[in-house]
Amino acid sequence: MNELAQVRPAGYPQSWTARGRYFVQIALRERYFLMALLVGFLLCGVFYDTPSVAMWLGFVMASYSAVANDSIQTLGTFIASNRERPWWQLWAWVGGIFLLTVFYSWWTHSGDVSYGRLASKGFDQAPTSFHFLQISAPLFLIILTRLRMPVSTTFLLLGVFAATGKSLGSVITKSISGYAIAFVCAILLWGLLGPWMKRTFTGRPARWWRPAQWLTTGILWSVWLQQDASNIAVFLPRSLSVIELIAFAGVIFAGLGVLLYLGGEKIQEVVDEKADVVDVRMATVIDLLYAVILYVFKIYSKVPMSTTWVFVGLLAGREISMAWRKASSEDRTLGYAASLVGRDLLFVVIGFVLSLIMASVINPAVARGLLGG
C-alpha cells in the first residue's frame, strides 16, 4: 500500500475537507491557465461556424496541445537527460529537424505535410465546416496534459474528424497492436539485457554517448513527425500553399521553443518518474527502440495510429521487465512497477473513451460504424 500511495501527488490530503482546500489551492495556483482555457472555449464558440477562421484557430491550439502531450514520447528522455544544457540548444536541434522533416513532406507530397497519413480513406477530405467539439478538442487535450495524463492525440484530435466508424476502427486496431508489440519488445530487450545494462551503465558515460543520444533523438523526432503531424494538419487544407506552410511551420516552431524553455509540460513527470531515464545511455536505448518500432509501422501502413499507445506500451514493458529482473538502479518492486503501468494505461484509456464519445456526438455515422450498424 505504501508503494501504491507513492503514485499520488505529493502532499495529497486524506480527509474530504482537506481535499476541498487542496483543490481550491490548485485552482488559485492555476488561475492564469484556467483563464486562458476560458478564453479558448469562448473563441471556439464564436468562430466554430466560420470555417476560414476556425481551421486556423483549431490548428494553433492543436499545434501546442499535441506536441506538449506527445513530447514525453519523443523529447521526454531527451529533456530529462539534458537539463544542464541551455534550452535554446535543445530548441535549435529539435526545431531544425522539425523544419527539415515538414519541408521534405511538403515538397515530395504535393503540399501535404503529413507524409500521406491524411490521404487515408475517411481523412482524405479537408473539413469545410466545423463542429464546436472539433475546434475545442485541443483544449480538452491541454487539460489532460496539465493533469499529467498521457493520452492519445491521434484519437482525441484526429478521431473527431473521422468520416466513418471503419476509418476510426482501422486507427484503433493499428494503435492497440502497436501497444502490444512495443510491450513485448521492451519485455524481451530489458529482460535479456537489463541486468547487463545495470552492470555496464555505471559511472560517467563515455563522451560519445551524448552525440549518440542527440542523433537518436533526432531520428525518433523525425519519424514521430511523419506519423503524428497529421493530428495537427487535420484542421487545414490537405495541400498547403507556401504562405500556409510558413504559418504551419512557424507556429509549431515557436511552440517548441516555449515547451523547451519550460523544460517540458507537467506531463514530463510521467517520464521523470520512470527508472533510470536521466542516464543518457538508457535514454538512448529507449529512443532507439521506439524509433525502430515507429518506422516499421510507418512502412507497414499509411493509416494513422496513436504513437502514445506505442510509447506507453514500451515504458510498461520496460518497467515490468526491469522490476522482474532487478535491473533498475532503484531496485523497484514488481508491485510498484505495475502500479505505474496501470495508471498510465488507465489515462490513455480515458482519453480513448473521451475521443470516441466526442467523435460519436459529432458524427453519428462513426458510432453506427463502430457498433457494426
pLDDT of residue 133: 83
Please enumerate in sequence order all residues whose Cβ is within 8 A of that of 351, keeping only pairs 6 or more positions apart, or say none.
141, 144, 149, 151, 152, 155, 156, 308
Query: Which residues neighbour 195 within 8 Å (Cβ) at sequence distance 6 or greater?
Result: 325, 326, 327
Q: Give the dihedral sign, CA 255/259/260/262.
A: positive
Cα of first residue to Cα of last residue in the chain, in angstroms, is 45
For 363, the 3-state DSSP assignment is coil
pTM, 2 dp: 0.76
pLDDT at 3: 42
Q: Report the pLDDT value the prediction gives residue 5, as an integer from 0 to 100.
A: 42
Below-70 pLDDT ranges, the chain: 1-24, 26-27, 71-73, 150, 162-168, 264-278, 325-332, 359, 363-373
DSSP state of 326: T
- Alpha helix (H) residue ranges in the chain: 2-5, 16-29, 31-47, 51-74, 76-80, 87-108, 132-146, 153, 165-200, 209-233, 242-261, 269-272, 280-300, 307-324, 334-362, 364-370
CA 98 to chain centre: 16
| DSSP secondary structure string for all residues of 39-68 | HHHHHHHHHTT-HHHHHHHHHHHHHHHHHH
Q: Note the pLDDT of residue 63.
A: 86
Distance CA 54, CA 56 (A): 5
In 3D space, the residue among 78, 318, 91 whose CA is nearest the CA of residue 215 turns out to be 78
Cell 504513437 found at: 307
92-141: pLDDT as tens digits: 999 999 999 999 999 999 899 988 888 777 777 888 888 888 898 888 88
Question: Rg (Cα) of the chain, in Å, rounded?
Answer: 20
Q: What would the grid cell of residue 145 be?
A: 496534459
DSSP 171-209: HHHHHHHHHHHHHHHHHHHHHHHHHHHHHHS-SSPPTTH
Task: Give pLDDT, residue 45.
Answer: 93
